[in-house]
Amino acid sequence: MSDTRAAYVRYLGGESGHRGFFGGTTSKTRVVFLGVFIVGGMVAMILGAGLPALVVAVVGVGVTMLATARTHRGTVLERRRKRARWRARLRLGTDTFVPYEVGAWDQLQEAITRGTPDEKRAAAGHAAAMRANPDGAEGMGWLQFGPNVPGIAWHAPVGEQPYLSVAFSVSGQLRGMETAAALTRAATGWGQFLARRAAPSSLIGDVQTLTRVLPPDSARQQLWVKTRLDTVQPEWTNVQRESFEAQKLSYDEVIRRSSADAMVQRHYVVVSWPLDQQFTDAAGKFGPGRDAWRALMATQIRATERGLDDARMGDVRALTAKQTTALIRHQQNPHLPIDLTRTVDPLAAGIASHDEFSAHVVDGVDPTTSITTADGPASPAVTWWHRTAAIHGENLAVAGRSPLWCLDLLIGRELTFIRSVSFHLHLVPAGQAKSKARADLVRDQAGVLADQQKGRLISDDSTTRMSAAQRRTSDLAAGSHHHGVEWIGFVTISAPTREDLGQASRQLEEACATGLGIERLDWQDSFQSAASGTTWPIGRGLRPSGATLATRAINRLAGRSEKEAIS
């Protein structure tokens, strides 16, 4: 990201993370197992185990190399891990989600304590399925969820740092056909927005961009036609009545044809504030308790809105808790209108669902349609199938990309299914990013030099990593006003049937491989319900790499802000 300029082309892809101690980006699992077998074999031979210890060590090293070798379907170990996770979920009953209800929970607890053995087992299974939040929003609550105020979500996921998040609705930077200068200004504005929030003094940690691609809602067009057509008058002749009906049919035909196979985009930006010592120190200047948190967040939200305005994001609005929840519920059941907030409870974001190995299946109703039943009018039951894939940097072909490189994924004509596209950005201060870039470059150059001196053929992976580290080092040069970023992308596709979901999966893979240079989509199978949350407006999906030892030391030396300081 740049604070001063934007280039038309940037090189992305080829890197899966920072280099390890031994160079390269080998997985920690492979390094640990290789170390265990090699060191264990050496120790065993010293202690007199002899040839059997050597054989075990060699076989262990070979099995480790095979089990952790990367293929177009991932590693053998990853596939085994997915299968084990899926079996564990089926055994524990966490593959099903039922929204929490006080009355139903009390009945289950009563059956668990006083029922027969069969009733106890059945009640325990139902209790495991009943949870306050769906898996994609586990540990989520609200710091502020009143009407007509920005909704501030409070997250405390198990094993992760707590944080606050706010979702902003934006209309986007570009409208129709724009000039190259407009594209440059848009890219520059977005780079400035990110760079100014990556500074060490900023309280913001992550930024998520979210685009919801869905069929157009023709309700407004139909209302427009209805209010502008003359009402039927009693004195009209048959000819006038026939003309009136023809006009109605004509408008209905226009709306139907213009909506067929058409897709529209809704854009959002989600900003996250980690609840660390820096945040609590800043909040302490506003007073004690949670009211101080809300006061600090009010200033942060206003500053973010101004920043998004300066970034030419169009119409910027902070979503209320009801609007955020309505969007989450719509993403689970697209039949629910995305802007319908009147009946939404911010504390009930989940809809009853269950998981298959490769799908998150949501059971809901279509409130826009009514059918007649024995008990009277009712909304018909509907089912939606969802599947989420991750886009990793290592699976992205190294190539020059313009700011519009994802356009085919957002508005591609061949992709007619509903989808959510989200990119998570973890902002890294320039000093920390520069230190890691230099370390990566030194290790890559050392590896290439060692191969040259030994006369070995230099692999494409080595040169690709080294060129990527060189570009990062150049971008982070002193005076550039650049900062670092760690990123990951997610795509969730939705379809009404299992067959449609399979077809949409194949279409997405083909479009990503041919038009975007994404060599492999990492389908988040065995935990698809949790993966759905990565494309919800709640900032889930990216665990940043840890800070370097030097960065942690500098942060220790910086200490806490002075109590007497104004800010």
Is 4's pLDDT higher than 50? no
Is 378's pLDDT higher than 90? no
Q: Report pLDDT for 370.
A: 74
Confidence of residue 86 (pLDDT cuts 50, 70, 90): very high
Region 510-535 average pLDDT: 91
Region 358-382 average pLDDT: 84
Say yes or no: 422 and 364 in one domain: yes
User: What is the SS3 assignment for 420?
Assistant: strand
- Say which range, 71-80, 238-247, 388-397, 541-550, has the weakest mean pLDDT: 238-247
Say yes or no: 308 and 433 in one domain: yes
As given in the structure block, the two tokens for residue 353 are: 């669902």
As given in the structure block, the two tokens for residue 547 are: 């800070």
Is 7's pLDDT higher than 50? no
Q: Is residue 360 part of a domain?
A: yes
Confidence of residue 566 (pLDDT cuts 50, 70, 90): low
- Say which range, 236-245, 287-296, 491-500, has the weakest mean pLDDT: 236-245
User: What is the SS3 assignment for 9?
Assistant: coil
Q: Is residue 446 part of a domain?
A: yes
The residue among 257, 276, 311 that closes a domain is 257
As given in the structure block, the two tokens for residue 211 are: 């685009």
Say yes or no: 438 and 511 in one domain: yes
- Say which range, 93-102, 374-383, 394-403, 521-530, has the weakest mean pLDDT: 394-403
For residues 324 and 169, the answer to whether their CB atoms sit within 8 Å is no
Q: How far is it, in rounded angstroms, from Cα 496 to Cα 519?
A: 27
Is 91's pLDDT higher than 80? yes
Query: Which residues are within 8 A (CB) of 157 and not within 5 positions of it... i.e. 6 or more apart?
Result: 138, 139, 540
Q: Is residue 441 part of a domain?
A: yes
Confidence of residue 14 (pLDDT cuts 50, 70, 90): low
Q: 389: domain range?
A: 10-27+132-215+263-558
Say yes or no: 187 and 329 in one domain: yes
In total, how many domains does the chain have? Answer: 2
Q: How far is it, in rounded angstroms, from Cα 543 to Cα 461?
A: 24
Say yes or no: 469 and 512 in one domain: yes
Q: Report pLDDT for 145.
A: 93
As given in the structure block, the two tokens for residue 117 are: 């053995």
524 or 378, greater pLDDT: 524
The residue among 257, 280, 311 that closes a domain is 257
Q: pTM for the whole thing?
A: 0.83
Confidence of residue 449 (pLDDT cuts 50, 70, 90): confident
Q: How far is it, in rounded angstroms, from Cα 133 to Cα 332?
A: 13
Confidence of residue 352 (pLDDT cuts 50, 70, 90): very high
Tens-place pLDDT, residues 162-188: 999 999 999 988 776 777 788 888 888
Is 482's pLDDT higher than 90? no
Q: Is residue 65 part of a domain?
A: no
Say yes or no: 482 and 515 in one domain: yes
Query: Which residues are within 8 A (CB) of 76 and not within 5 positions of it... i.e. 6 or more apart?
Result: 66, 67, 68, 69
Q: Is residue 71 part of a domain?
A: no
Q: Is residue 50 part of a domain?
A: no
Say yes or no: 252 and 271 in one domain: no
- Give me the residue label for tokens 């990503």: 512
Say yes or no: 253 and 283 in one domain: no
Q: Is residue 17 part of a domain?
A: yes
Say yes or no: 527 and 385 in one domain: yes
Say yes or no: 405 and 292 in one domain: yes
Tens-place pLDDT, residues 303-314: 999 999 999 898
Confidence of residue 333 (pLDDT cuts 50, 70, 90): very high
Say yes or no: 231 and 313 in one domain: no
Q: Is residue 51 part of a domain?
A: no
Percentage of the residues of the chain whose pLDDT score is greater than 70? 78
Say yes or no: 251 and 314 in one domain: no
Confidence of residue 22 (pLDDT cuts 50, 70, 90): very low
